[in-house]
A = this chain, B = another copy of it.
Amino acid sequence: MAGEEIVMDSVSDDKNFSRFPACVRLKQLAHAPYDLTQPEALNGKRLEAYVCRTPHFDLLYGTQRIDEAVLECLQDLADQSGVIEQFKQMKQGAVLNRIEGFDSESRQVLHTACRDISSASPKAPEAVAQAKRELGKLAAFLNDLDEKRIVNHRGETFTDLLHVGIGGSDLGPRALYLALAAYRRPERRVHFISNVDPDDAAAVLNGLDLSRTLVNVVSKSGTTLETLTNEELVRNAFKRAELDPGRHFLAVTGENSPMDDPERYLRSFYMFDYIGGRYSATSMVGAVMLGFALGFSQFQEILKGANEIDMLAEEPDIRKNPALLLALLGIWNHNFLGCETLAVLPYSQALVRFAAHLQQCDMESNGKSIDRQGRELNHQSGPIVWGEPGTNGQHAFYQLIHQGTTTVPVEFIGFRKSQYDQDILIQGTSSQEKLLANLLAQSLALATGQKNVNPNKRFAGNRPSSILIADRLTPRTMGALLALYETKVVFQGFAWNINSFDQEGVQLGKVLANRLLGHLSARRQDDSYSGADTDMTGWTLLKTARAFPAGQDE
């Protein structure tokens, strides 16, 4: 028995993040991290050495608090935790969405298959075949739109698409649409409804010409409350306009879900349970809307960019694998230097919603407290991710990043060229140059700080940052950027030995909300109903918030 226990422990310890020899050593190194404020700390040799160049993005990380010893340990951590091996297994269809020994989703994790569509020998042939089948359906549908085989009842083309989804069915697709609006087909626009807030739908519907609008309803289960509620709101609007929803509504859903119904939808496109919502932007979840807006070939460019990162991510040398390097630098700042948050600050207004997508992708994936064996973690898992575009943020929250009492690691994202090429020279430089110069200057200022006799003009420095920079934000670089962050998050989860693919933490709120809705519904039908007997807390909270319609709460 004792022998067995030891074997169990030793098996477990193999996966325990805190006990990796690399982590023990990193903890020591964290007592005296590289001091960026020293003269010559940011010398040319260092800045040039700490760059990871890829076909799209360069990752500059000389302004992180690392040196050769730390980088070697981070390489050891990658090796000891076997992140590359796990990533390869993931791409081949290993059942990684599970908690060993406990009831869990027990699913494969195959978002990478969506974009592995050009390989002669794909890693996950079945999933790739499914992805190709759906892409084929989509290409045919988009072609029917272009050739005016699918038109409204008056024979007109569709100019607008209303995308209805929430969470992963909203944030990623929306971030991509906004990022690539410069590449939009000029005659086509997209609108989004996500929130169960009825004002969200009302604000969008007011002013839409429904007769020329397609509605794309996205829900894997076909049962998402917000999405079904909003779909019903929109269907009612179509009925009031005496339009046949069957000519306008599309479904993106699981095969055989309640939404997979040709009677109610013009077309159904399928998503599969091996792709989690927050990793689904390159599946049909994003494809239908983006294909409509940008055209099919531009959507393929997104897939190409993402696939290039998926391939690069198999590289075991951390200095050549930007997703892995981002993951490990994040772990260094978070687990060893003790920073709770991460600011992602794109110097591109088009990326205005990219941080909101990352909040889901990262925080839903890695905001966990147990490991893949169901044991409580003895280390920090995912950070709080937040951010807004620069230079706007410089005039807002950067004050705290520079002079606050909390250290906020930053990941800057920038581009050398603008999307529209509409620029102007003022004081000898273009706006795009001003944008980029500000990004680089912020990184320097955070690192070096500044001494001054006036304490209010002092900057402590040693605030770490990285810079991701590409030539231009295009569909291809956007696909690469998306995959970079998806893969970073996955790598961190592998290193921490957590399941980055489930989201049990959203369940309790749902259950309690339904209980409260039960009270509201029962009270609406029966003034004498009281839920206080069975649910004193919920009932009292409803009363305290005066949540019952007027006249009913007393």
Contact = CB atoms under 8 A, between A and B. Distances in A.
A381 B399 CA distance: 12
Contacts of A395: 166-168, 170, 226, 277, 360, 506
Contacts of A199: 182, 348-350, 418-420, 422
Interface string A236-271: 100000000000000000000000000000000000
Interface in A159-175: 166-168, 170-171
Contact of A194 (B194, B392, B426): B392
Contacts of A397: 359-360, 363-364, 367, 384-385
A540 B44 contact: yes
A438 B135 CA distance: 36
Given A341-B384, A364-B399, A459-B508, A438 B513 contact: yes
A502 interface: yes
Contacts of A374: 454-456
Given A166-B395, A455-B99, A516-B440, A403 B544 contact: no
A48 B203 contact: no
A198 B440 contact: no
B232 A426 contact: yes
B389 A195 contact: yes
A480 interface: no
Interface residues of A, number: 158
A197 to B, nearest CB: 4
B420 A203 contact: yes
Given A197-B418, A454-B102, A431 B229 contact: yes
Contacts of A379: 405
A445 to B, nearest CB: 4
Interface stretch (A79-87, A484-492, A519-527): A519-527
A198 B516 contact: no
Contact of A544 (B51, B198, B512): B51
Which 10 interchain pairs have the tightest Cβ spacing? Answer: A367-B400, A167-B395, A428-B521, A367-B404, A360-B396, A441-B512, A403-B505, A202-B420, A441-B513, A200-B349
